[in-house]
A and B are shown apart, each in its own frame.
Chain A
Amino acid sequence: MNIPQWIEGLANGTEAVGPIPGPILLAVVKVLLLVLPILILVPGLIWWERRLLSWMQDRIGPNRTGTITIPDKAPFLRGKKIRFFGLLQPIADGVKLFLKEDITPADIDRKIYFIAPAIALFPAFAIGGTLPWGAIRAPFEQGVSGLYRFLTPVANVDIGILYVLAISSLGVYGVVLAGYSSNNKYSLMGGLRSSAQLISYELAMGAALASIVLATGSMRMTDMALEQEKPLWGFIPAVQNWFILTPFGLLSALIFLICMVAETNRAPFDLPEAENELIAGYHTEYSSMKFAVFFMGEYAAMFLFSGIFAAVFLGGSSLLPVNWEHLAASVPSASGFFRGMAWFNYWAGPLVFLGKCAGGITFFIWLRATLPRLRYDQLMNLGWRSMLPLGLSNLIVVGFWVVATKLWGIGGGWATWGLVMSILVVFYLNILAGTRKEALSFGGRKVAMKDPAPRRAVTLVDPNKP
């Protein structure tokens, strides 16, 4: 039996496995291929976070759990230790969390309290629904081809990137509802902060992604992956056009990176769970499994946001921004090597993608170890006064670039891009010079934190009261 043909038959609905129609089976396989690695890797992520944090803080971290000492009566390797570097620590943590007493506080909104962790978990996993973790096009082929197109993404829809934005905007509900239902002022404050924070940063994230959509001309995430296989800047065919290598894409990537940290409520944007102000924020009153579910959701969201960053800005599943196919065609002497690299790049794609996700998570942890938590007004200033205007001006500039490239070719596009960009920079510097002494910069914290003039007492004649 020809396996590629069989899989194609499954996708077309002409083949079936027993009573299950092919497309349904394939859909289930797609979902499992997305969700299972996350479920398996989340404990590993927790271990990685604890170890990396401890190295960065000059500690050792959890390194004992799982170390086995061979007993003296064993026939060989007596007294030797088999080390696992604490890799079993997350399992021990999980067992501990399972066995802990599940405390339910008094006077809570019971139904919402129980449903909140589930609501927090759902968007964290659903966000990967349009994420392509493998190349959708086999090397040396035109158009969509190869094995991975049947396995990823779960739904290759026209609205891929909008789906990501929509589902990530649902992530706030778990936090807000947990905060509301816990009957705890700290939790409520955490939930309130979280909703304000997520609303603020979603806008900038949308603007950052919109400029990429504009440059690609499509909202499909696989189209973005294909776009990134084109020549760099339109005229360097040996290098792939990863969006992080283009000027506008770099700016978008920076904005997206910052917004992604804010969206996942990670340090330095972890105000909803700021322990020095709010005990533990929205999950103060949660214990045992429900607490673990919140953490599961947070790590899954980190993982998948890193994946989205990789797919949109870092060239998806290719290892290096090198166009192996072009090299194979243009350098005949090393053609075989470059062909091999192209195929290796294709088949190793999912692993490379996982590696990029791991890199993103490492970045998250690095941020957590490095940066202090922002104050609330700093958070709002950063979101509304830096990220959003940057994202919007980037969007405008990309719009000019797209139109000029259509009209005058690649050179004209970049010339127009430079012109508009320099005008915007001058404009921005002008504004900055005018408002520097006010609350625009973080240095103006006196102005930002000062309470406005005392409220006048409002006297309102109420006819209902004598």
Chain B
Amino acid sequence: MTGNQLAFLVLAAIGCLSALGVVVFGQNAVRSALFLVLNFFVLGFVYFALGAQLLGITQIMVYAGAIMVLFLFVIMMLQLRQDSSAKEPTDFKRPFAWLFGAALALSVMNYVVMPLSMTAESPVGDEFGRPQAIGNVLFSLYSWPFEVTSVLLLIGIVGSILLAKRRI
């Protein structure tokens, strides 16, 4: 086992455990959100390990730095008004959900992951993940989706203002 593999295993272990933490260990919403922050942070490092610098740092900035802060903000605002630290009740759905989840995971494992496990690395060079390369492609080949995304973000802004304002 090489150093890269070891590093990946550590990152993956933290990532998977924190993902479990979001669902299982997090008794209340704040704990869940914290586990998710950890997960996104580690995921940023996994992206670094894949060589995608720009996306790794964007992951940390957008997810861990902005989206999760928004989540925490909303959770805390809800908790200001309501003391909802009570544990959620368990019901019959729980074991079935895990069962189906495991079945899904195993089937995807069997039919998708295992056949691909021998895939060799593609001959992409050092350019992979460089901001310049991504920028060149993003603003030439993918400029139409880029513009559409900007419109989508605008709609998101307007929509959230509409939802948040009491009186327009």
Contacts and interface: CB of A to CB of B under 8 A. Distances in A.
A and B in direct contact, judged by CB atoms within 8 A? yes
Interface of A: 109, 112, 157-159, 162-163, 165-167, 169-170, 172-173, 176-177, 179-180, 185, 188, 191-192, 195-196, 198-199, 202, 219, 452-453, 455
Interface string B14-52: 000000000000000011001001000100000000000
7 contacts: A162-B54, A169-B64, A173-B37, A188-B79, A192-B80, A199-B70, A202-B65
A172 B69 contact: yes
A310 to B, nearest CB: 22
B34 A112 contact: yes
B76 A191 contact: yes
Nearest to B58: A162
B80 A177 contact: no
B72 A162 contact: no
6 tightest A-B CB contacts, nearest first: A169-B65, A166-B61, A166-B60, A195-B73, A162-B57, A159-B57
B66 A199 contact: yes
A66 to B, nearest CB: 42
Contact of A455 (B69, B77, B79, B166): B166
A188 B60 contact: no
A202 B66 contact: yes
Nearest to A192: B76
Contacts of B61: 162, 165-166, 169
Contacts of B77: 192
Given A169-B66, A176-B72, A196-B73, 19 more contacts: A112-B34, A159-B53, A166-B58, A166-B64, A169-B65, A169-B69, A170-B41, A170-B65, A172-B65, A173-B69, A180-B72, A188-B80, A191-B76, A192-B76, A192-B77, A192-B80, A199-B66, A453-B167, A455-B166
Interface in B147-168: 166-167
A202 B60 CA distance: 14
Given A195-B72, A199-B69, A199-B70, A158 B54 contact: yes
Contacts of A169: 61, 64-66, 69
B131 interface: yes
Contacts of B167: 452-453
A152 B58 CA distance: 23
Interface residues on B, range: 20 to 34
A159 B54 contact: yes
A279 B31 CA distance: 26
Contact of B30 (A109, A162, A195, A202): A109
A170 B60 contact: yes
Nearest to A455: B166
Give the interface SS of chain A, mostly helix, strand, loop or mixed: helix
B65 A166 contact: yes
A163 B131 CA distance: 13
Contact of A188 (B53, B58, B76): B76
A439 to B, nearest CB: 14
A458 to B, nearest CB: 10
Given A166-B65, A455-B166, A176 B76 contact: yes
Nearest to A109: B30
A204 to B, nearest CB: 14
A179 B79 CA distance: 12
A170 B131 contact: no
Nearest to A199: B69
B162 to A, nearest CB: 15
Given A169-B69, A173-B37, A198-B69, A158 B30 contact: no
Contacts of A199: 66, 69-70, 73
Nearest to B167: A452
B72 A157 contact: no
Most chain A CB inside 10 Å of its own CB: which residue of B61, B80, B130, B167: B61
Contacts of A165: 61, 65
Contacts of A162: 54, 57-58, 61, 131
A112 B72 CA distance: 13
Contacts of B37: 173
Given A195-B73, A453-B167, A455-B166, A159 B65 contact: no
Contacts of B76: 176, 179-180, 188, 191-192, 195
A166 B69 contact: no
A223 to B, nearest CB: 11
Contacts of B30: 109, 112, 180
B166 A452 contact: yes
Contacts of B64: 166, 169-170
A158 B53 contact: yes
B131 A177 contact: no
Nearest to B70: A199
A284 B85 CA distance: 22
Contacts of A172: 65, 69
B86 to A, nearest CB: 14
Contacts of A198: 69
A112 B75 CA distance: 15
Contacts of B58: 162, 166
B60 to A, nearest CB: 4
Nearest to B65: A169
B154 to A, nearest CB: 13
Contacts of B72: 173, 176, 180, 195
Contacts of A177: 34
Contacts of B65: 165-166, 169-170, 172, 202
A157 B53 CA distance: 8
A158 B69 contact: no
Contacts of A185: 80
Contacts of B53: 157-159
